[in-house]
Structure 1
Amino acid sequence: MIRTTTLAVLLAASFSVFAAEQAKTKVDLTKAKEIAEGMCVACHGADGNSPAPANPILAGQIPEYLYKQLSNFKAVDGKPAVRNNAIMGGMVAALSDEDMKSLSVYFSQQKMKPSAAKEEKLLAEGKTLWRGGDFEKGIPACAGCHGPAGAGLPAQYPRLAGQYAEYTANQLKIFRSHERANDSEKVMRTIAGKLSDRQIDAIAEYAAGLR
């Protein structure tokens, strides 16, 4: 509990710094809209509502989280990207820091068209894990960080409510394999490492149905 509280304080402090820096950076929503309609539309939709379940819905997402992901996809000063993805790495290569912050704010302001749960047989298990975790396996409740309704915690944890189950499940699996490793203090890698495929699918389905 102490470690979790300390981590939350550190994360809050780090994102407070980000918020201060963001305030200094001009946000150009007109340019962001142009970038979204020209570069992002095929995979995420012009308004951030992805047409494909394999790609995340960006509309309504927490802007600080979106900015972190965009910046993590970008290789800087010859160093490899923190989050490795060939497609996204190519997309963000030409974006400036201002562009990424503007896009993050733009997508956060778009109205989300939420996905829906489809596998009803998994919902009860997903609800249990989301609300209470699995004490015996050391799995904390998802609601502890992402909120009871999956709205996330501004500047700290992403919104998962209404996200495509396919995308959420895939992210949990690549956290589990450490293919994705841009989580603070290895929190998601540690949790995902304790989840079975069925538990991952159950959590993803339950989150898709949250509002």
Structure 2
Amino acid sequence: MIRMTALAALLAASFITNAAEEPATKGDPAKGKTVAETICVACHGADGNSPASANPNLAGQVPEYIHKQLSNFKAVDGKPAARNNPIMMGMAAPLSDEDMRNVAAWFSQQKLKPAAAKDESQIALGQKLWRMGDFKKGVPACAGCHGPAGAGLPAQFPRLSGQYPEYTEAQLKAFRQGDRANDPESMMRNVAAKLSDAEIKAVAEYAAGLR
């Protein structure tokens, strides 16, 4: 456990060093509310609590993470978008960087109505992977980057507590398959590649129940 926690800390330190070079994400939540109510409401809710499990809850999410994801859905200087999702690419296209920062600030300040684990049989395995990782497989503890309670790390790692398990599971599988590749230093792709379907589901279920 100690070794895997240390590995997670090392990965986090590497990411933080790179992220520290980026300017802090700041925005005006009042202006962001207008963006949310105009563009985001149908899929994510005006307050960031999504009405459907296929779409992530954004309420209480790390604002820098929201800003990064929105930025990654946009093609820049003739280069393809770093994250591929036709719907989100269309939504992000008309947004300015200021719009993105503003809506990120708005969602981050909203109160999350957390999802819950739906398959209690997965909790034990999910808890083990979250807290300890799997040394034999080279899987670091999820808590090393996302926190013991899944609250994330400001400006670095997203909040996963209370997230829809279906969404978290889908994203981990996308990382594993390489369909999602906007993770710095391939961090999440490297981790997800070592997880089975059962382990991914277990982690997603456990994270949903964290508070």
Aligned residues: 207
The whole-number CA distance in structure 1 between the counterparts of 2:12 and 2:140 is: 15
Runs of 4+ in 1 over 2 A off after TM superposition: 1-20, 27-31
Shift of 1:154: 1.0
Q: 2:122, 2:202 within 8 Å by CA — same for their partners in 1?
A: yes
Give the Cα–Cα distance (whole angstroms) in 1 for the partners of residues 11 and 130 of structure 2.
20
Report 1:1-211 matches (<5 A): 7-20=11-24, 22=25, 27-211=27-211
| Alpha-carbon distance between aligned partners in 2 of 1:136 and 1:3, rounded to the nearest angstrom | 13
CA contact (8 A) 2:8 2:145 kept: no
Q: Secondary structure at the match of 1:91?
A: helix
Secondary structure of 1:179 counterpart: coil
Once residues 9 and 202 of structure 2 are traced to their aligned partners in structure 1, the CA distance between those partners, rounded to angstroms, is 27
Give the deviation of 1:97 after TM superposition.
Answer: 0.5
Q: Shift in Å at residue 181 of structure 1? A: 0.2
Cα deviation, residue 38, structure 1: 1.4
Shift in Å, 1:6: 6.0
Equivalent position amino acid for 2:55 in 1? N
Aligned residue for 2:170, secondary structure, equals helix
Given that 2:176 and 2:193 are in contact with CA atoms closer than 8 Å, whether structure 1 keeps it comes out as: yes
**2:95 corresponds to which letter in structure 1?**
L
Query: Which whole-Å CA distance do the structure 2 matches of 1:127 and 1:95 have between them?
Result: 38
Q: After TM superposition, give the deviation of residue 30 of structure 1 in Å.
A: 2.7
Deviation track 1:148-199 (CA, whole Å, cap 9, x = no partner) reads 1101111111110000000000000000000000011111001100111000
Q: TM-score, normalised by structure 1?
A: 0.92
Determine what percentage of the aligned residue pairs are the same residue. 64
The RMSD of aligned alpha carbons is 1.7
Distance in 2, matches of 1:75 and 1:139, equals 33
Scaled by the length of structure 2, what TM-score is found? 0.92
Higher relative contact order structure (alpha carbons within 8 Å, sequence separation ≥ 6): 2
Instruction: State the distance in 2 between where 1:101 and 1:63 align.
Output: 8
Which range moves more in the overlay, 137-146 or 29-38? 29-38
Q: Deviations over 1:58-88 (max 9, x none)?
A: 0000011111101011111221000111111
| 2:20 partner SS | helix
Question: 2:16 is aligned with what amino acid?
Answer: A
Offset at 1:7? 4.8
- For structure 1, list consecutive stretches of 5 or more residues without a partner in the other structure: none
- In structure 1, C-alpha distance between the alignment counterparts of 2:168 and 2:94, rounded to whole Å: 27
Choose 27-36 or 194-203, whichever is displaced more: 27-36
- The alignment partner of 1:55 has SS state of coil
Q: CA deviation at 1:13?
A: 3.8
For 1:18, what is the secondary structure of its paired residue?
coil
Structure 2, unpaired ranges of 5+:
none
